[in-house]
Amino acid sequence: MKKLKAKITGVHGYVPDYVLTNAELETMVETSDEWITTRTGIKERRILKGEGKGTSIIGIEAAKGLIEKTGTDPAQIDLVICATCTPDMLFPSTANLIAHGIGAVNSFSYDLQAACSGFLYGLATGTQFIEAGTYKKVMVLGVDKMSSIIDYTDRTTCIIFGDGGGAVLLEATEGEEGIIDSILKSDGAGAQFLHMKAGGSRYPASHETIDAREHYVYQEGATVFKFAVKNMADVSVEIMERNNLQADDIAWLVPHQANMRIIDATANRMGIGSEKVMNNISKYGNTTAGTIPLCLWDYESTLKKGDNLILAAFGGGFTWGATYLKWAYNGQD
């Protein structure tokens, strides 16, 4: 029997309606549209408003769209993996809530946390179950409601992040297309530069943690920037070399959308022109685990069967990685 591969047979995304523009941020913190645009490439981001609405809302919307467009019976889904660092609750997992919300009654489901690299970790994990022949239909989501952990008085973080995400369906194939290779890395020494200090088991919520604003993202931006540029580029070049890929062989680089300057630096190191780099940071900002599926969703109509894609990410942990896949179908609107 030929070796099984996992291929993406559909992608769908969801972003909330509310648009937080640079102009509105100018009224909240001391910043300017000019600074944000030139330093990050971001013009606006989406925010999920409404009491009691968590990340699962984003996941359910994306998953429902995916089920509909792929004609999938939710009862046939074997496994739902949700990559997020903003779960609805510490437990149960957001994946449990999404699976319930879409009627995936025969699936099991779990969350996976690797911050901005979460979708790549999820994709690699789902791929293993398909390649092993254990499961036939695996849904992988990357979704985050970053606005729930952002301090909107801190101009160094609040201008970057937004809410949103997407979902892909993985199915088995014996053909050429599918997920071919992944390189995933992590280094907990990076935790000091990017984390949310309180709310976990080390510093449970207390009056003190709230007063100290420790339930928000803490980031030493310039340090994270340096690690991001180096590691995202290194791992992208490594996966090209390991698979004997030249820049011309690659149809698209699908980079995590944290900062346009990090994206450009990665593409330059790979020798890839900007016309082959997916980019939607200007309209969604950094949606953490959501950026890569949101890019695939935005560019789906332009993708062709057999296109070589390199997906690359860097984020909190630190975590980073790259995935090489051959796109499995011709785009659709």
Which chain residues interact with ligand UT7 by CB under 6 A?
A: 31, 35-36, 39-40, 116, 155-156, 159-160, 221-222, 224-225, 228, 258-259, 262, 286, 315
Contact 186, 317 (CB under 8 A): yes
Q: Which are the contacts of 1, defined by CB distance < 8 A and separation ≥ 6? A: none
Structure tokens belonging to residue 148: 């729930």
Structure tokens belonging to residue 51: 């009491």
Q: Which is nearer to ligand UT7, 35 or 203 (CB)?
A: 35
- Given 22, 231, 286, 295, the catalytic residue: 286
Closest approach, Cβ 276 to ligand UT7, in A, equals 21
Q: Which is nearer to ligand UT7, 18 or 35 (CB)?
A: 35
Q: Which are the contacts of 64, defined by CB distance < 8 A and separation ≥ 6? A: 102
State the residue for tokens 């008085």.
Answer: 153
Closest approach, Cβ 198 to ligand UT7, in A, equals 19
Q: Which is nearer to ligand UT7, 258 or 309 (CB)?
A: 258
Peptide bond into 193 cis (omega under 30): no
**Any catalytic annotation for residue 82?**
no
Closest approach, Cβ 194 to ligand UT7, in A, equals 6
Taking the CA atoms of 319, 322, 323 and 326 in sequence, report the sign of the dihedral they define: positive
E strands, the chain, in order:
5-14, 18-21, 44-47, 79-83, 108-112, 137-145, 163-173, 178-186, 194-195, 218-219, 252-255, 308-315, 319-326
**Any catalytic annotation for residue 158?**
no
Nearest-5° angle of CA 273, CA 282, CA 148? 130
- Give the C-alpha distances (Å, rounded to integers) separating 169 from 61, 79, 122, 292: 14, 10, 12, 14
Q: Which is nearer to ligand UT7, 124 or 262 (CB)?
A: 262
Q: Which is nearer to ligand UT7, 182 or 259 (CB)?
A: 259
Paired with 283 in beta bridges are none
DSSP output for 117-148: GHHHHHHHHHHHHHHTTS-SEEEEEEEEEGGG
Closest approach, Cβ 309 to ligand UT7, in A, equals 20
Closest approach, Cβ 131 to ligand UT7, in A, equals 29
Closest approach, Cβ 232 to ligand UT7, in A, equals 9
Closest approach, Cβ 228 to ligand UT7, in A, equals 4
* C-beta nearest to ligand UT7: residue: 221
Structure tokens belonging to residue 165: 């995400």
Q: Of 59, 61, 72, 77, which is closest to residue 129 (Cα–Cα)?
A: 77
Which phi and psi angles does 296 have, rounded to 5°? -60, -40
Q: Which is nearer to ligand UT7, 161 or 324 (CB)?
A: 161
- Given 85, 116, 158, 295, the catalytic residue: 116
**Any catalytic annotation for residue 100?**
no
Q: Which is nearer to ligand UT7, 153 or 246 (CB)?
A: 153
- Given 256, 259, 279, 295, the catalytic residue: 256
d(CA 15, CA 19): 10
d(CA 209, CA 207): 6
Q: Which positions are catalytic?
A: 116, 256, 286
